[in-house]
Amino acid sequence: MLENDSVSPTLAERRAEATREGVIEAAWTLSRSLGLTGWSMRELAKAVGIKAPTLYAYFDSKDAIYDAMFRQSYEQKGSSGDAEPYLAAHGERDAFKLAAHDFFDFCTDDPTRYQLMFQRTIPGFEPSEQAYAASQRSYERFAQQLAAVGVADQAHLDLWTAMISGLTAQQISNDPTGDRWRALVDTAVDLFCDHVGIPPTGDQNP
Amino acid sequence: MLENDSVSPTLAERRAEATREGVIEAAWTLSRSLGLTGWSMRELAKAVGIKAPTLYAYFDSKDAIYDAMFRQSYEQKGSSGDAEPYLAAHGERDAFKLAAHDFFDFCTDDPTRYQLMFQRTIPGFEPSEQAYAASQRSYERFAQQLAAVGVADQAHLDLWTAMISGLTAQQISNDPTGDRWRALVDTAVDLFCDHVGIPPTGDQNP
DNA sequence: GTCTATACTGTGATAGAC
DNA sequence: GTCTATCACAGTATAGAC
């Protein structure tokens, strides 16, 4: 690990960073075909074209690789699928439905990523402070989005989280290629909106 | 593995069965303190008072031990917490609430068991045909209970499953010692009952 | 500074003597 | 059935070549 506090990275640092990203990308590819814990450091090294011990020049441990993947996932989640643009263009219930489907699809699009982000499935792995902070920022953005449409009560946030993530989890583990629980998302959102007092779409003057 | 198709087991078989149960019990103890994947066959053997290779006289592999634990869990679930007795004694919504809390408490009482039963968390482990059959029987009992109170539509069953398991999962992973999501169970059940047309308690003549 | 060769420790699992 | 000895493989550390 180089130390260089100047503004522009040296060429060596840029090259090292490129290698790091290549390692992470290869780790994703292996994880999607063999499972998150289905590959060894030796296999990963071979996929990148280096020897296993060289990996330790870029990452302190296998868990550090998982950590980078974890953090990257939460940053991806932030940079796509924000529901806010919808709010101006749609009625409020439709905004909730779009937000729910955004999350649902983000999870089902990449079950391996979902497993890393939301299941505690890798023995011994716990996200570092920085990676955990990325997940916290993601939750904060989510909370602010719901606050923007009038849902600020913590209990309401928790109910939303449980309902949408519950549907998602069932879909991924019981019907990964189908739509059995996806088809229930709109119904669940309507139940939630009834509960928190969001008026039905088209009913703007209660 | 001995083969004896006669009705009464021999003394040797009974002793072997007792050892098997001791192994499983020790595996639970280790799993609860170190995590499901946090112990080795050598540690397990030491806890039972034998050498590691001797374990393989009782179980074909480590996964076979997980399999026995998995199956045992689903059989425990069948023999406790049936909601049927409640049905005669309570109004319908209260019966749903009791069933939901039964499931919720069964899961939060033993998060390790929950992890084995409902998360796919052990790398490479898949339940055997017999163990999977035990989990299927458990689901069938659940479906029949809901049918007995008038919920037979598959989509309704799926919505119930997603809501209650979603609350449970959030509780276990985000607030294992608290009540943050448990406090939402009754609300969720009411939303569900509103949706499927179960009248509120005390409203027997709609 | 980046890589390779080698080796250490612990894992699940097996072979074969008693 | 239970043991000792051993295997192949894992993650990882280190010494030293370039």
* Domain annotation covers residue A1: no
| Together in a domain, A106 and A189 | yes
Contacts of A7 (CB under 8 A, 6+ apart): none
CB contact under 8 A, A181 and B158: yes
Helix axis angle for B111-118 and B92-109, nearest 10°, is 100
* Residue B5 covered by a domain: no
Nucleotide C10's nearest residue (CA vs C1') is B40
> Is A123 in contact with B119 (Cβ distance < 8 A)?
no
Does the residue B110 lie in any domain? Answer: yes
Residues A164, A93 within the same domain: yes
Chain B residues touching residue A119 (CB < 8 angstroms): 119-121
Strand C: list protein residues with Cβ under 7 Å: A 2, 12, 15-16, 19, 50-54, 57; B 39-43, 52-53, 56, 60-63
Report the CATH number at residue B55.
1.10.10.60
Output phi, psi for B36, to 5 deg. -60, -35
Whether residue A164 lies inside any domain: the answer is: yes
Q: List, in sequence order, every beta strand (DSSP E) within B67-190.
A: none
Number of residues that make up chain A: 206
Same domain, A81 and A55: no
Provide the domain count of chain B: 2
Q: Which nucleotide is nearest to B65 (CA to C1')?
A: C12
Note the strand D nucleotides within 7 A of protein beta carbons: 1-5, 9-15
- What is the value of pTM for the model shown? 0.93
Give the total residue count for chain B.
206
Same-domain status, B189 and B89:
yes
Residue B17 counted as domain residue: yes
Shortest CB distance from B173 goes to which of A120, A166, A167?
Answer: A120
Same-domain status, A95 and A173? yes
Tell me the residue range of the domain where B51 lies. 11-60
- Same domain? A145 vs A90: yes
Between these two residues, A169 and B85, which has the higher pLDDT value? Answer: A169
pLDDT in tens, A60-114: 999 999 999 999 999 999 876 555 666 656 778 998 999 999 999 999 999 999 9
Structure letter (DSSP) for residue A202? T
pLDDT tens digits for range B78-131 = 876 565 666 656 778 998 999 999 999 999 999 999 999 999 899 999 999 999
Is A5 contained in some domain? no
Comparison of pLDDT for B19 and B203, the residue scoring more: B19
Residues A123, A199: one domain? yes
- Confidence band of A1 (pLDDT split at 50, 70, 90): very low
Residues A99 and A139 in one domain: yes
Q: Which residues of B19-46 are buried (b: 16+ CB within 10 A; e: fewer)?
A: beeebbebbbebbeeeebbebebeebbe
Mutant choice from A157, A167, A186 vs B, greatest count of B C-beta within 10 A: A167
Same domain, B176 and B120: yes
Residue A183 contacts by C-beta under 8 Å, 6 or more apart in sequence? B155
Q: Which chain A residues touch B181 with a CB distance below 8 Å?
A: 158, 162
Q: Which residue is nearest to nucleotide D14 (CA to C1')?
A: A53
CB-nearest to A162 from B35, B161, B181 is: B181
Task: Provide the pLDDT for residue A23.
Answer: 96
B116, closest residue in chain A (CA to CA): A121
B1 occurs within a structural domain:
no
* Model pLDDT for residues B39-90, shown as the tens digit of each residue: 999 999 999 999 999 999 999 999 999 999 999 999 999 876 565 666 656 7
Instruction: Pick from A37, A115, A121, A153 the residue to mutate for testing the B interface (most B CBs within 10 Å).
Output: A121
- Whether A65 contacts A48, CB under 8 Å: no
Specify the pLDDT at position A6. 60
Q: Are residues B41 and B142 in the same domain?
A: no
Check: CB of residue B121 under 8 Å from CB of residue B169. no
Nucleotide nearest to A56 (CA to C1'): D12
Q: What angle is formed at CA B80 by the lines to CA B196 and CA B131, rounded to 5 degrees?
A: 90
Supply the pLDDT for residue A15: 87
Q: pLDDT value at position B149?
A: 84
- Same domain flag for A51 and A80: no
What are the tens digits of pLDDT across the range A74-87? Answer: 999 987 655 566 66
DSSP state at residue B198: P
Query: With an 8 Å Cβ cutoff, are A167 and B165 in contact?
Result: no
Structure tokens at A125: 């792995």
**B55-76: buried (b, 16+ CB within 10 Å) or exposed (e) per residue?**
beebbeebbbbbbbbbbbbbee
When pLDDT is averaged across residues B177-206 and rounded to a whole number, the result is 89
Across chain A, mean pLDDT equals 90
A134-154 pLDDT, tens digit per residue, is: 999 999 999 998 988 889 999
- Asked whether residue B124 is domain-assigned, the answer is yes
Beta carbons within 10 angstroms of residue B155's beta carbon? 13
Residues B55 and B78 placed together within one structural domain of the fold: no
**pLDDT above 60 for A5:** no
